Chains A and B, each alone.
Chain A
């Protein structure tokens, strides 16, 4: 997903353009660029980074123009680099294009254009468009509009385009097929944007494009035509009652809930993680004498879950080390592999750990969400989890997807080692079904988790208890509770109770138990014994459980019952419940969910 903006106005519109793509950054933020018509010629500036960073580094503010387009990118194909950032220009530099979508037949178009002498500077699909228009003009298209229209007819795929050209100053050309584009009608200025956010501070009057339409805006007019008939389409002007924040959140009340609901997709992407990179990581791990999983905060808990996954699926002990403690603790040499986990790929502590490992000659790899991030660039192999932008400070989908990616690595490693478990095929099938199960739990359990949160939100102190892999799951869920609901929640192994923690059990503390399915017999039995210990001291206990068993129900004051699933994916459904429980507790307590106090999304400082 990318964001497009454009303006034709009076005076200097560069500031407006920069502001527009900044409001569209939720659609992507790994690189950006701008093209304007200055003194009759096109000026293009672009680079890698957020809009804030690039606009300063490339001095966007030096530009002065009344017509322009801009773009913010979230790479899915093609590396993150200045060359691959939009806008793209034609050979003669007189046409500039920004694009949101995928051109399916770009390789053949490019080959044809190259045969006609066009020079390409990037590896992107979009760059064919300015050259294609240029070629149509060379071939004798009557005017620019005709050339644009002919080009659209040659393109196969999903797109929204915005185009400026020095051949037709004071105009921005747009087209839509399957990706959104909207015109905003202002006072002696007209705008375009991927959604209303791009210009909502300027105007609430908008014209929404439908598929197979193209058009033009000028300073005080616009028209829209059908690509199929080339006839003018009469469009309604709608006045939008618009909450810009709500739109960015896709209609969800908070990014956190949106991202929780995006987890089925995030899991699918993580299960299908790049095969070549995966093979490289597996080779690297097989050659290693020592393996460290490194993360910090949530990603440290992901690493801890990874420890259990490597044990369960690959019969390997790997050590999870908190990135901030790594240099103090880890033994690193040339036969060591450090596998880092990070959403942003910019976390200071994790970068330090990786640099320290590299300095000692270790091999490095990463599971990371942001392509082109420092971490992705600095490790030997970066596996992109492709979860899409995560905006909420509270990590949900990125963490769950990382755990799934670690399972994939462990399973592939076991296959290569020849140590795969006997039921590996069953486990793989269970993971393949996980996205649908997550969707089912989201639909069918939200009400129970919300009710539980309403009943229990008064408790200020919590113990989150689990055994085995449910222990790091408990840690991660307790962290969610602390981050978003500001409730003191301690995650710990349930086995710790009798070694001290039982003394805390009284009327003022509530325990949340992560109970495994009954099929996980040994673990199930141990956890039940722990619940008994708390009940014996009249402690209040709530649980996430899989069996409807009365003997278990009678031990719990309240419970959320989950559908019966394969034990190897059960922990992930409990993580989902923990995320939702923290979310609904925060809703009940009216916390500022996406912007919790004292926290930032990406911790890039020591």
Chain B
């Protein structure tokens, strides 16, 4: 047995819903292919029972066909919670797609500002934020939380910041103190005390396990959560309870 036995540390930790999963491939990267079968295989191998899955096809090329792909996956597998994706390069089309997704029963929509070259102060971001809040959709957004907190303020909606880095934890926490709908993924809260600090400040109910499978190592946020100082009930909430409340 290698000294690097992650299973011995993660034990029986089971994630009931991972908030950050993608299908499809980045054409500017060598891999991974991101086929639904391979993605679900990686999740299963890490005791992640379900993923909030968004489509890179929708994010990078065509919203409607990409989102339809995810809706079809969710109908075929209990392991897929569908997350719509919209394109910040097309705010009018995005607004229409939000309507369609909400009518289809989707509860979460994901923004890809880095991939789409959108900055936090672009009118399209605020427009999509308003429309999503009005429809009761939870927004999962990438981007630097120090900038992307602003277009979501004062709307009363639920937002999950997927790229909150522990370097920027203080900024997130002071923003979240004024915005009860602000949540964060734990993916990059990987300093020795960021998860614990966030839970103490704003409550574990505002933390969601996110792995970015298959593009990042699924085991890393698993290890961080398994070895955290959170109470068992808090770990259970972070490992999927909170995501289910917001996205299903």
A and B interact: no
Chain B residues proximal to chain A, CB less than 8 Å: none
Chain A residues proximal to chain B, CB less than 8 Å: none
